[in-house]
Chains A and B, each alone.
Chain A
């Protein structure tokens, strides 16, 4: 019963990423979209929240915010909207941490 967790807010603005990472179980995946993508940057303090999690990030949202892939924490998978659809299909349900 794997779950896809969506976070769309910067971890420096809300506690949503913190909550999501605390609820995530083995096998679940986190997808960072919209302002959530700031949480994927390796030099940010919030990057430690991603330790041990399976993380994807929406490429178009990264590009829009001028974040190049070399600034991302290790092991993060960059996907497009089609990849987003695939993740929704691959997981039994989706939780949006709004």
Chain B
């Protein structure tokens, strides 16, 4: 295989109303096996995917929000959340799940996966990627 590419999965849709969020997460999980340099972005309505306290019992759909906390186990440790998207929606990091990963090189120390970035910083992050997956 060629050298690892920088893969970015960009999530911009809210969960449940449409299937894009869930089927995007499926790509990220499958893609983890390919040993690329993976990052994930949540922006626009995509930030709603990460909110705490989702309970889908009443709508009879699968609640896939716990799966985000497993991303660290799949070595998906770079999760970008756009600050402006949160602010426009009256949200802060406290409204989102606390996503962590364990750093093997530092005796499995728990580290934050979420990186809060401004739109301008996100533009730089996106510019540095090789492949963008759009959902």
Q: Would A and B touch once assembled, by the CB under 8 A criterion? A: yes
**Chain A residues in contact with chain B, CB under 8 A?**
1, 3, 15, 19, 22-25, 93-98
Chain B: residues with Cβ within 8 Å of the partner, total of 18
Does A98 contact B135, Cβ atoms closer than 8 Å?
yes
Q: How far is the CA of A1 from the CA of B126 in the complex (A)?
A: 10
What residues of chain B have their CB less than 8 Å away from a CB belonging to chain A? 10, 12, 43-44, 84, 119, 122-124, 126-132, 134-135
Q: Which 3 A-B pairs have the closest CB atoms?
A: A96-B134, A23-B123, A95-B132
Chain B, Cβ-Cβ closest to A23: B123
A23-B122, A24-B123 as given contacts; A93 in contact with B129, CB under 8 Å:
yes
- Per the bound structure, the CA–CA distance linking A3 and B132 in Å amounts to 10
Q: Are B127 and A3 in contact (CB under 8 A)?
A: yes
Query: In chain B, what residue has the closest Cβ to A28?
Result: B127
- Beyond A25-B127, A93-B131, A95-B126, 7 additional pairs, beta carbon < 8 A: A19-B43, A19-B44, A23-B126, A24-B123, A93-B132, A95-B10, A96-B134
Chain B: interface secondary structure? mixed
Cα(A7)–Cα(B113), bound, Å: 30
Contact between A1 and B119 (Cβ–Cβ < 8 Å)?
no
The minimal Cβ–Cβ distance linking A25 to chain B, given in whole angstroms, is 5
A46 to B12, CA, bound (A): 21
Q: Which B residue sits closest to A96, measured CB to CB?
A: B134
What is the CA–CA distance of A77 and B77 in the complex, to the nearest angstrom? Answer: 40
In the bound complex, what is the Cα–Cα distance between A94 and B131 (angstroms)? 8
Select from chain B the residue with minimum beta-carbon distance to A19.
Answer: B44
| Most interface-central of B10, B43, B126, B134 (chain A CB within 10 A) | B126
A97, B12: Cα distance in complex, Å:
8
Q: B128 to A1, Cβ gap below 8 A?
A: yes
- Name 19 A/B residue pairs within 8 A (Cβ), A-sorted: A1-B127, A3-B126, A3-B127, A15-B44, A19-B43, A22-B84, A22-B119, A23-B119, A23-B126, A24-B123, A25-B123, A93-B131, A93-B132, A95-B126, A95-B134, A97-B12, A97-B134, A98-B12, A98-B135
Give the residue name and chain of the B residue nearest to A95 (CB): B132
- Residues of chain B lying within 8 A (CB to CB) of residue A25: 123-124, 127
Least CB distance, A5 to chain B, in whole angstroms: 10
